């Protein structure tokens, strides 16, 4: 849904000791070519791995292998080492005919009772080609499993079709039938690429929030309900149970849930800031502590998040908001002894 995306990641130092619970944990010795973390650094082949990244959700949607090849070549020439892209595109049966005509990449189609996998040449084989071409150009891929927003077969389709009309967006995170459907797709992707050193990390969802662009949040996804944190924990543990080696992260926007959320002046009125008051559903400081969240992500869209910026009667600007958002994530990372770095796309 967003045109310009900035992703920043915070590298986690994991806290061992999980008591009696048997939570699967990341392997301390990863295969050659796998990125891991050491203390507050990413690490590759025993050396700190610092990189410039790009974010191109559309790459697997390119129709020809030549276009994929050319895009990676250009990235490699620009020094890009990590690419974030999307591992999802699901369509409904009414869209199938036109998808087949246009050659659209799709991985799942809703057949009026369930998602049916497309692992053919117009489906996951396109993603296979993206992942292998990335490797040829010495680029590693961050792959997101699904979308908070309705676009590209995102979570509201699961909500509407599996839980039924009239449900709020956040049942995506709690309905066992939806979780089973999500996990079945996630398992397909993870098992397909779990041995590939071309994967940098898995992202559980693009920009998980209590609400979406088509459905509101319900009463069970409110500040303090921990709905997203619980889901992040379940799904990161699930992915870890399938894949001991790759890094896992949320894919979230990095919203905070602060006891004293920031406020700002807009048109001579003091406003409580959505990005800090927990309404979005994330709690960046605490989500990052989950045992199988290996680093944190955050995004920033100053102009679309804050029409108030630079408004007469507002006391701040796009620039000082952006710098502040970055500093706060650095600070959050430092507080829990984790390191941050950023990719811009």
State which residue, 28 or 112, has the beta carbon closest to ligand NAG.
112
Q: What's the token pair of residue 225? A: 């309900």
**Two tokens at 144?**
């997101």
**Does the protein bind ligand NAG through residue 116 (CB under 6 A)?**
yes
Give the footprint of ligand NAG on residues 130-159 (CB under 6 A): none
When asked if residue 95 is in the footprint of ligand NAG (CB under 6 A), the reply is yes
Q: Is 316 in the site for ligand NAG (CB under 6 A)?
A: yes
* Distance (Å, whole) CA 100 – CA 27: 41
Q: How many residues bind ligand NAG (CB under 6 A)?
A: 16
Among 111, 125, 230, 331, the residue binding ligand NAG under the rule CB under 6 A is 111
* Cα separation values, 213 from 18, 155, 248, 299, 325, Å: 37, 11, 26, 17, 23
User: Is there a contact between 198 and 135 (Cβ–Cβ < 8 Å)?
Assistant: yes
Contacting residue, 265, 274, 301, 305, with ligand NAG by CB under 6 A = 265
Query: Measured from the CB atom, is 79 or 166 closer to ligand NAG?
Result: 166
Judged by CB under 6 A, does residue 112 bind ligand NAG?
Answer: yes
Q: Estimate the crossing angle of helix 65-77 against helix 124-136, to 10 degrees.
A: 30
CA–CA gap between residue 326 and residue 301 (Å, rounded) = 12
Binding mask 270-309 for ligand NAG (x = CB under 6 A): x---------------------------------------
Rounded least distance, CB 315 to ligand NAG, Å: 4
Question: Is the CB of 178 or the CB of 204 nearer to ligand NAG?
Answer: 178
Q: Does 230 bind ligand NAG (CB under 6 A)?
A: no
Closest approach, Cβ 138 to ligand NAG, in A, equals 37
* Segment near ligand NAG (CB under 6 A); pick from 50-58, 162-170, 196-204, 313-321: 313-321
- Rounded to whole angstroms, the Cα distance separating 52 from 341 reads 9
Least distance in angstroms from the C-beta of 48 to ligand NAG:
35
Q: What is the SS3 assignment for 5?
A: coil
Beta pairing, strands 263-266 & 269-272? antiparallel
With vertex at residue 310, the alpha carbon angle to CA 304 and CA 311, rounded to the nearest 5 degrees, is: 95
**Exposed / middle / buried, residue 259 (Cβ in 10 Å: 0-12, 13-18, 19+):** exposed
Name which of 96 and 289 has its Cβ closer to ligand NAG.
96
132 vs 320 by CB, closer to ligand NAG:
320
Q: Judge contact between 178 and 158, C-beta under 8 A.
A: yes
> Pick from 171, 183, 181, 291: which is nearest to 237 by CA?
291
**Interface residue list for ligand NAG (CB under 6 A):** 92, 94-95, 111-114, 116, 263-265, 267, 270, 315-316, 320
């Amino acid at each position: 849904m967003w045109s310009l995306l900035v992703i920043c990641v915070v590298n986690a130092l994991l806290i061992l000791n999980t008591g009696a619970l048997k939570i699967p944990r990341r392997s301390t010795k990863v295969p050659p070519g796998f990125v891991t973390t050491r203390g507050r650094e990413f690490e590759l082949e025993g050396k700190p791995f610092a990189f410039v990244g790009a974010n191109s959700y559309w790459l697997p949607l390119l129709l020809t292998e030549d276009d994929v090849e050319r895009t990676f070549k250009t990235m490699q020439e620009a020094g890009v080492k990590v690419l974030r892209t999307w591992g999802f595109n699901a369509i409904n049966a009414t869209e199938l005919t036109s998808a087949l005509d246009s050659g659209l990449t799709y991985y799942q189609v809703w057949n009026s009772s369930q998602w049916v996998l497309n692992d053919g040449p117009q489906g996951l084989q396109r993603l296979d080609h993206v992942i292998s071409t990335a490797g040829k150009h010495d680029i590693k891929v961050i792959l997101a499993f699904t979308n908070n927003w309705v676009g590209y077969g995102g979570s509201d389709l699961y909500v509407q079709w599996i839980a039924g009309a009239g449900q709020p967006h956040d049942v995506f995170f709690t309905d066992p039938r939806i979780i089973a459907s999500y996990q079945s797709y996630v398992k397909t992707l993870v098992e397909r690429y779990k041995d590939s050193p071309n994967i940098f990390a898995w992202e559980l969802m693009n920009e998980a929030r209590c609400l979406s662009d088509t459905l509101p949040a319900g009463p069970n996804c409110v500040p303090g309900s921990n709905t997203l944190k619980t889901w992040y924990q379940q799904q990161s543990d699930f992915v870890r149970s399938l894949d001991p080696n790759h890094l896992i992260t949320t894919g979230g926007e990095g919203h905070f849930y602060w006891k004293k959320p920031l406020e700002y002046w807009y048109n001579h009125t003091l406003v409580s800031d959505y990005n800090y008051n927990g309404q979005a559903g994330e709690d960046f400081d605490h989500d990052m502590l989950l045992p199988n969240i290996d680093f944190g992500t955050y995004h920033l869209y100053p102009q679309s998040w804050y029409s108030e910026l630079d408004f007469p009667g507002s006391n701040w600007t796009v620039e000082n908001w952006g710098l502040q958002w970055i500093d706060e994530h650095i600070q959050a990372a430092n507080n829990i002894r984790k390191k941050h770095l950023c990719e811009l796309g």
